[in-house]
Structure 1
Amino acid sequence: MNSMSCSGSLSFRKRPLFQGVIAIMPLSIAVVPWGILAGSMAVKAGLSFAKAFAMSSLVFAGAAQLVSLSMVMEGASTLTIFITIFFLTSQHFIYALSLRHQISVLALRQRLALGFLLTDELFAVSLTPENRHSEFMLGAGICFYLFWVTFSAVGILLAQMVPDLMNYHLDFSIVAIFIAMIVPLITNLKVVLAVLVTCLSGFILRVYQIEGAVLISGLLGMMTPVGLAYFSKEREE
């Protein structure tokens, strides 16, 4: 009996669903302060518990939630918020195109589920071909979603009990989680140069208070490896 239960446990651990949960667990833990921040910020923006919880449950986009809430508090128009969030989350189109070969063969309900669960973090852990199994992505996506919703609810509750919760610098978790995603992807010199150009140009532009510094530095970083690849190809020809 014990041997059967042990073999069953081992077989479950080998399943892509469980492997997906394990793969995204570090990023799920890292997103805890971010979820708390999003929940508390929703309360500060004037949303009720139900609306704040629904926002985290249905929108499920950390950066989009924080930006849209800050724009609501600043009195931005609905159209401005929609346009900003559209461009802020436009990378998801690229993610979806990258995964289309593995996802297009699935049933509609599975495609919709993975489309809803698709985040920067899920895409990061699904970069390798062996991790692009639908069951792996489903396990990783559900795990990350549960962490996000749970700790958003914690943030909503804490905002009503702890004054000035937003002053505890929980927004640093946003930086930390993206560092954890990017570092494993730095595998060659071109990527190293892209990261360096992005960081240095972003720092310089911020020092000189240039508007859109983050966007400009990001574009410069992306153009760096593209330019290097183009010139190396020119030299080979």
Structure 2
Amino acid sequence: GSSDHLPHPQRQASSSQPISSPTPFLWSLPLWRNCVEPRYSQNSAYNLIRICKGDEWKTAFVTPSGHYEHRVMPYGLSNSPSIFQNFMNEIFRDMLNHFVIIYIEDILIYSPNLKEHQGHVTRVLRRLREHHLYLKGEKCEFHKSTIHFLGYMIIPEGVQMDQRKVEADRDWPQPTIVKELQRFLGFANFYRRFIFHFSQLSAPLTSMLKRKPKNLTWTSDALKAFQQLKSSFCSDPTLTHADPNLRFK
């Protein structure tokens, strides 16, 4: 087994300036013509980044055996995801949005056919080796026509909701406190693209949260909206990738 140890991440985060990094926007990516997709996950990825010399003190922590400082970037720091995303974007800059998508530690390769796919995979693996980056074997998937990525299911025909996540929603109990309703709406909002007229459908629920109420007051319209949203998640629609070679209406 392995463990990622970082004591007092909030205190250490206050010592660093926030860093932003662009992450992939699934809906703008050219997946419409691709059918072969593997996914790779890297092993102890953050630990491959050397902390700038002189900044090690910012990660200091004390244990019963003594005082220690990280020499490589640990998990838990506020800037760790952004730094690693920038690192990967720079390494794969010439491949991004051509046949590679990267979200922090996860790499998705998409290709229109198996022959091109094999060449794409070879290029990615060589690039990883050149930079001494390693993959976690048990989390890698090869030669898949459907794949789970960023909370969605990507298939040759388009994008679907991840049914592993949606199944839990089917038995979602009626919220009794504000935080429970906020949690449900947050989940629903993530998949709003799949639900026709989502804003109108969820309006009775969002109106319950106006003026920051301490308690929930359920109306017949709100209860109906709650049940309709749950039913919408079970419809399993597919959003088709836009084909730029076809005429738009």
**TM-score range normalised by the length of the shorter chain:** under 0.3
- Which has more radius of gyration? 2
Structure 1 length as normaliser, TM-score?
Answer: 0.24
- Which has a greater percent of strand? 2
Structure 2 length as normaliser, TM-score?
Answer: 0.23
- Which has a greater percent of helix? 1
